[in-house]
Each structure stands twice: as structure tokens, then as C-alpha cells.
Amino acid sequence: MKKLLISVFVSFWMISPLAAQNKNISQTSEEEFIRRVKQTDEFIKRFNFEIDYEGNAIPENSKGKRQEAIFRLIDKDYLEGADEEKKKLVNRFIKEVCAKKAEQKLSYFDEDWYAEVEVSVSYKGKNYPMTLIMQAETDQEEISKWTICAANAKFLSTLPKDPMASLSPVSHELNFMKLVSATNKKEAENIGAFASNDFYKEHRSEDHRQIFFYLVKNKELTIKEVGTVTYHFLQIPNWAFKLNHFERKEGNLGWLISELIPLQEEDKLSYKKMELKLPMPDNKAKNDL
């Protein structure tokens, strides 16, 4: 019985001269360049088997080697020490992506891939962590751009600290005077409790994006630093995977697949809501399916 392909790949890293010791500086620099996936665009082209690690076009008679090329694009730490279940998972992914009758490729213009960007922001003299979800879009004039499709930060939450806070049913008899105290410093944290039922029902996850845009526009919030970036690719049928940047002395490095997630098409909507926290009203979500 043939051995699993993953075993061949892991063995490659163990015995490869790229992992050998006692290299001089020039050799190390050259080999690091070969092992490194330098940009996300390079990752996409290498995943599609359009170019090799040196940027050369792949000849037609080499197309059968795509499986090995994709193995090299998976984080070595994700592969090394993998149990049988993970080995089968990786091999199934590679097999389905490289299937001759349904070969899968990536494109910058695909709709279902996102960048999860961790940033540090300054608000009222304090620094806070925030996550921005970016998506590439093409407008009617075929001009491409990255857009902010979600913003998430705990300090932007409108969820009330006291969910039982409310306006009295006879507030109309008092000319709604309670509104004055509802917005003072002491009770302002419960303002979300005064929203109508559809405010949170229509958006299962809060939409912090509008608050973010408002604060930036009014010069109350600024982004001070951009940190970790994680890409989420959901366009491969029945799969999702994450792409992260790795730096280390040995093995593959640069932009590599850090996690494979088997995901049925009907479950990708939940992934967008729960993992990416995209604000999606129920009716829109159903229409998108």
C-alpha cells in the first residue's frame, strides 16, 4: 500500500539540504530566498502552480507535480508530528484541489477571501486592540480595492451592562424625561437596552464598523499600529483555510497555510458570522445563499 503523501513531504524537510547545518552566509541567504513565500500574490500563483519558487512559469509537462508544490505551501509545524486524522485531512485537501476534472485555483478577484487585520487604536488617550476584516472588491468600472467589511473591538460594544434597564411604559406621561438621565455618564453604558427588539435581532453580531467610521471621521480614534494579518480563503468548495506569515531558521517560511478546515458550503455562512464576525442580517444571509 502506498504511503501517504504527507509522509513524503515531511521527510523532504528532514533530509533536504535546505535544513542542513554549517552553511555560509551567502548559501543561507540564497536558500532562505528559495524557501520563502514572499508575498500573498506569490502564494496564490504557486498554489495555482503558475510559477515555481524562483518565479519561473511552470511548463505544461510539469503539471503533475502540483501536489508536491502545494505541500510546500503548508506550514511545516502544522505537518510535523501530524496524527493520522490530520494526515488524511491534508491529503484529501490536496487531492481535491488537484483533481483533474475539478481542479481548484485561487484568484485575487475571488469574492470569498478575507484579511483579518489586528490593529492597535488610540481612543480618548488610551490604546485598545481592534480587529478589522478586509475584503477585496471590484466596482462597476472594474477598479479593484480593499474594503473594510467588519470592525470588532470590545470597547465599541453597545450591549448594555444591565440588560434589564428600560424606559418605563408610562414614560410618555412624563414627556420621556427619563431620556435625560439615560444618557448621563452613570447610565450611558446601558443605552443599548433602550433599543427596539429588531436592533440586535437583525444583526446577530454587533456592527462596530459604523461606530468605527464615525469616531475616525470625527478625529476621536486613530490607528496607531498594524499587527498580525491572517487571510481566510473560503472559495475552495467544501474547504476553508488560513494563511499566516512565518519567520524561522529552518523549514518553509513566509506566507503559508496555517490551518485547513473542512467546511460544507452551507456552513460557510456560520464561519463568516462566528469566526470573522461579519454583521449579516438574517434576511440578507438567506438571500446570499
- pLDDT of 15 strictly over 60: no
Residues 78, 10 share a domain: yes
Q: Are residues 204 and 243 in the same domain?
A: no
For the cut 70, the answer to whether the pLDDT of residue 286 exceeds it is: no
Please write down the HEC assignment for all residues of the chain: CCCCHHHHHHHHHHHCHHHCCCCCHHHHHHHHHHHEECCHHHHHHHHCCCECCCCCECCHHHHHHHHHHHHCCECHHHHCCCCHHHHHHHHHHHHHHCCHHHCCCCCCCCCCEEEEEEEEEEECCEEEEEEEEEEEEECCCCCEEEEEEEEECHHHCCCCCCCCCCCCCCHHHHCCCHHHHHCCCCCHHHHHHHCCHHHHHCCCCCCCHHHHHHHHHCCCEEEEEEEEEEEEECCCCCEEEEEEEECCCCCCEEEEEEEEEECCHHHHHHHHHHCCCCCCCHHHHHHHC
Whether 270 maps to a domain, the answer reads: no
Mean pLDDT for 192-217 is 78
Residue where a domain terminates, one of 227, 247, 282: 227
pLDDT digits (tens, 9 = 90+) for 141-195: 878 899 999 999 999 988 778 878 888 888 888 888 888 888 887 788 888 887 7
Residues 222 and 249 in one domain: no
Is 97 in the same domain as 134? no
Would you say residue 91 lies in a domain? Answer: yes
Query: Do 103 and 14 belong to one domain?
Result: yes
Residues 211 and 159 in one domain: yes
Q: Does 273 reside within a domain?
A: no
Residue 248 lies in a domain: yes
Q: Does 286 reside within a domain?
A: no
Considering the domain architecture, whether residues 211 and 143 belong to the same structural domain is answered as yes
pLDDT tens for each residue of 232-285: 999 999 999 999 999 988 889 999 999 999 999 999 999 999 999 998 765 544
pTM above 0.95, yes or no: no
On whether both 131 and 177 belong to a single domain, the answer is yes
- Report if residue 278 sits inside a domain: no
Final residue belonging to a domain, choices 227, 246, 274: 227
Domain boundary among 178, 201, 227: 227
Asked, for residue 284, whether it belongs to a domain, the answer is no
232 belongs to a structural domain: no
Domain count, the chain: 2
Look up the domain containing 151 and give its range: 113-227
Q: Are residues 127 and 216 in the same domain?
A: yes
